[in-house]
A = this chain, B = another copy of it.
Amino acid sequence: MTARTPIKHLAAQQDGPITVSGWVDTVRDQKKVQFVVLRDESGAVQLVNPAVRELDETDAASAGRLAITETISGLSQGSFITVTGELKHDERVKLGGIEVKIGTLEVITHAIAETPIAEDSSIDKRLDWRFLDLRRPEQNLIFRVQTTFLHALRTWWVEHDFIEIQTPKLMASASESRAELFEVEYFEGKAYLAQSPQFFKQMAQPAGFGKVFEVAPAFRADPSFTSRHATEFTSIDAEMSWVDSHEDVMRMHEELLVAGLTAVKQKHGAEIEALFGLEVTVPTTPFPRIPLAEAKRIVAERGYEVPRADDDMDPEGERRIAAYVKEEFGHEFVFLTDYASSIRPFYHMRHEGDPGLTNSYDLIFNGVEISTGAQREHRIDVLEAQAREKGLDPEELGFYLDFFRYGVPPHGGFGMGLQRVIMLLLHQPSIREVTYLFRGPNRLTP
């Protein structure tokens, strides 16, 4: 490995010789002195070089200094370089109170001088050049936050004896809706891309796995262009046996989010405040829970009639109920519970004594839905009846229904969109900003 010091560690080092590597952020090429801001994955530092513009034959070092000066004058933004030099703490230096006086400078790769994107480029243009867009400190932080968040979730699951599963993304039939299914040429036949791991994570229950989780891609042939939709996204899923109702799922879900957000605040809280002007709030438990019917009454009382013919909420209603919860309880999260059976999939368990309602919830975070959870129907006769009632073909569902014929414990779980969580946590305007490489109806590159 190149023997370099990550830039974030420089401040803690004593003055003296140092090697740093990274890319050129800016060059200020003044007559007497040159400044280079160098950036790596951990931060930025100012490099300084006293310019030598002419060969001085009385000074043996002059030729070398002249060469370095000329190299710096020709440095294009984005070029990767390695510099050895002298670290010096100096309070007058705005950028972190340190600078490095350049001793040697090696250009590793020259960048084309014209950068195709600028600060004010459109999101679409930035996505065309995503690998350059990702160099921005905000973008780098987004993915470090995501790393920390996911690792905290997985650690919580592992400590609570969950088993990690990798469910197949190639399926012989639909997992949810026929409408948004991608079709794959599969040798002589057809396959479909999994819209969610729903059926397969449920399979872990009759398999006796007890509690399972998965973080993996999911695919939706959804032609919409909103800030919340993508054709490929990262689905965070958990499913566990022996729940009494969706309440048990919500309790697991909120503990998990507390673990994730605690880790993010601890590790990145200061940086998030510096770069996004945001304070990360670790939510208190229990999160507020509001039955959907009540939520609709509340927003109606506050002047908003949800313009839908079915029993569902709409995005504006979700924003409004979230605003209400924020005002009333100072909470960024709210579980909307007990959705009508008419707008939920056949596999959601219905209320005992009121088949019009389900043991289900949506989780709203800062005004946007990030997750759906539920207790599942595990009684095969009820499940088959509910599938038939929804107009599904029990023949095609055969492999799934079989899971329930050989013994299965009561169970429930949730699916949550990773990119939505990160978008809402960091108050980003679109999942495009927090997806490594966004995929939409007309975006498949780079």
With known contacts A147-B163, A402-B446, A407-B110, A441–B135 Cβ distance under 8 A: no
* A416 cross-chain contacts in B, Cβ below 8 A: none
Q: Are A243 and B78 in contact (CB under 8 A)?
A: no
Checking B146, B147, B185 against A183 with a beta-carbon cut-off of 8 angstroms, the contacting residue is: B185
Task: Find out whether the CB atom of A208 lies under 8 angstroms from the CB atom of B150.
Answer: no
Q: Is the pair A167, B436 in contact by a Cβ cutoff of 8 Å?
A: yes
Distance A171 CA – B439 CA, assembled complex (angstroms): 9
Q: Which residue of B lies closest to A402 (CB)?
A: B446
Complex Cα distance, B440 from A168, in Å, reads 11
Does B182 lie within 8 Å of A407, measured CB to CB?
Answer: no
Which residues of chain B are near A446, meaning CB under 8 Å?
203, 399-400, 402-403
Residue in A6, A140, A183, A187 whose Cβ sees the most chain B Cβ within 10 Å: A187
Residues on the B chain within 8 Å of A206, using CB: 131-132
Q: A109-B379, A409-B21 are in contact. Are A164 and B184 (CB under 8 A)?
A: no
Whole-angstrom distance from the CB of A202 to the nearest CB of chain B? Answer: 9
Task: Give complex CA distance A90, B344 in Å.
Answer: 50
Assess whether B144 is in contact with A163, with CB atoms less than 8 Å apart: yes
CB <8 Å contact, A111 and B406: yes
Asked whether, in the complex, the Cβ of A39 is within 8 Å of the Cβ of B109, the reply is: no
Task: Kindly state whether residue A115 has any CB partner on chain B within 8 Å.
Answer: yes
Check if A170 sits within 8 Å of B439, measured CB to CB: yes
| Number of A positions contacting B (CB below 8 A) | 105
The answer, yes or no, to whether A234 is at the interface (CB within 8 Å) is: yes
**Nearest CB of chain B from residue A199's CB, rounded to whole Å:** 8
Inter-subunit contact A1/B444 (CB<8 Å): no
- Tell me, rounded to whole Å, the shortest Cβ–Cβ distance linking A124 to chain B: 15
Question: Which of A97-105, A209-217, A254-262, A273-281 forms part of the interface with chain B?
Answer: A209-217
Answer whether residue A155 sits at the interface, using C-beta atoms and an 8 A cutoff: yes
Q: Could you show 28 A-B contacts with beta carbons less than 8 Å apart?
A: A2-B242, A6-B161, A21-B409, A23-B407, A40-B210, A41-B161, A42-B210, A112-B405, A115-B406, A130-B207, A132-B206, A132-B406, A134-B204, A134-B209, A140-B208, A143-B163, A146-B164, A147-B158, A147-B163, A151-B155, A166-B217, A166-B435, A168-B437, A170-B219, A170-B232, A172-B445, A216-B216, A403-B446
